[in-house]
Structure 1
């Protein structure tokens, strides 16, 4: 008798693979991605009382990765309101292990107060300073020493140069089999002239262009296309980088 659990997993795997060639589904996902980014859709949600500026679809993917990998350390650049830190810390609390290290150049006093008062803060450490400064990078490297499984999540300044430097500094800390997730790669895939407000990033200068450049010189990572085909609606298309060696 066949194993129904394995059969379900294989059926899902096949369906996800087929999504990559499903032009109608891909077009619908792009239309939603374009319209929802314009409407600031990612600002609509909270996790355990704190705003989390993420798409729910990416949150589900991150939950899957964290549950499977059970990391000892998650390093995240970009804190904002702290919702992502608390989200990851709450998953680690359920798993029963792990720490979250957040970095931001400006941790605003009101956000720091709320994060530090949260029940999940017991699994969180925050560093204030530029993620691409050597001082901060050295502290992060020390925190990663001896950790069996490390994930890195990049979600701060979205310019090409900044993200590329973050990749150079922090991607090597990712352990084989784990992930470096680069958020807001969607910027490269949005329509020309999309941003109504002035931004230092845009088409040709964004996290995805940094990913492409970084992967030219580091073959330890590959873009996990299966995640793109599964999630479809995401701010991180081609941003889920799996360390394969």
Structure 2
């Protein structure tokens, strides 16, 4: 089934299909399968905080905030972006779910940003992490080393765009990432040295169409 997923994604990319998805009117660069997977994990874990690296156009933050709204309680998204566009900031701050969003502008792995994140999640009994910023091996591995420890046992760190390892090399011409240098290779390196996490293949098998094969990491220890 992964081969079918890869073939479909390769063809869809030729038509920029992946950039057409919206959630509550906001651009959101994920597949419907990933949206289903994340909502199921949020419902299952009921996190008080979701820490998310990468804001981009804002759709991912709105999606996570809306999932927490459906779950109920006081859950919030702590979202990190190195260069947050002012129009995105204003749109998110005016959103009806703004009370569930905390926006932090800064390099995701800097000491100042990590301190700000820890301050915002202090006291949270359950924390989930979604990594969706820069897709090079080096950066994703640094984020995993920096953020995985924030994940509470039984919860998840979700690494987006691991599919890059399986797509044709021509799709990455001129990009700083590609085959052998992407989120999937970072996940493999991380799991080889951190026994707290395991890949949850069951959620991936159920949704099938995903940009994150092998990227749903459950903290089991």
TM interval, shorter chain, is over 0.9
Q: For 1:69-107, what per-residue CA distance to the aligned partner results, in whole angstroms no more than 9, with x for missing partners?
A: 111000000001111111111121122220001000111
CA distance in 2, matches of 1:149, 1:160: 27
Residue 87 of structure 2 corresponds to residue 110 of structure 1: yes
Deviation at 1:129, TM superposition (A): 0.8
Residue matched to 1:88: 64
Superposition misfits of 4+ residues, deviation over 4 angstroms: none
SS at 1:119 equivalent: coil
Query: Does the 8 A contact of 2:37 with 2:204 survive in 1?
Result: no
1:27 to partner: Cα distance: 3.4
Give the aligned partner of residue 170 of structure 2. 193
Matched residue SS, 1:80 = coil
Residue pair 2:52, 2:132 contacting (<8 A) in 1 also: yes
> Superposition RMSD on alpha carbons, in Å?
1.2
Report the 3-state secondary structure (helix = DSSP H, G, I; strand = E; otherwise coil) of the residue aligned with 2:4. helix
Unpaired runs of 5+ residues, structure 2, are none
Q: What secondary structure sits across from 1:76 in the alignment?
A: strand
TM-score, normalised to structure 2, is 0.95
Structure 1: unaligned runs, 5 residues or longer? 1-24
- Aligned partners of 1:151 and 1:175 also within 8 Å: yes
Match of 1:54 in 2: 30
Q: Which of these residues, 226, 236, 239, is aligned with residue 212 of structure 2?
A: 236
Task: Report how far residue 38 of structure 1 moved.
Answer: 3.8
Q: Name the CA distance, whole Å, in 2 between partners of 1:153 and 1:181.
A: 5
Aligned residues: 220
Equivalent of 1:169, from 146, 150, 169?
146
Larger radius of gyration: 1
In structure 1, C-alpha distance between the alignment counterparts of 2:198 and 2:14, rounded to whole Å: 29
Deviation digits for residues 188-234 of structure 1 (CA, Å, limit 9, x no counterpart)? 111122224x2111111111111001111100001111122122211
SS of match in other structure, 1:132: coil
C-alpha distance in 2, partners of 1:26/1:104?
31
Q: For residue 121 of structure 2, what is the aligned residue in structure 1? A: 144
| Pairwise CA distance, 1:113 | 1.3
Corresponding residue number in structure 2 for 1:131: 108
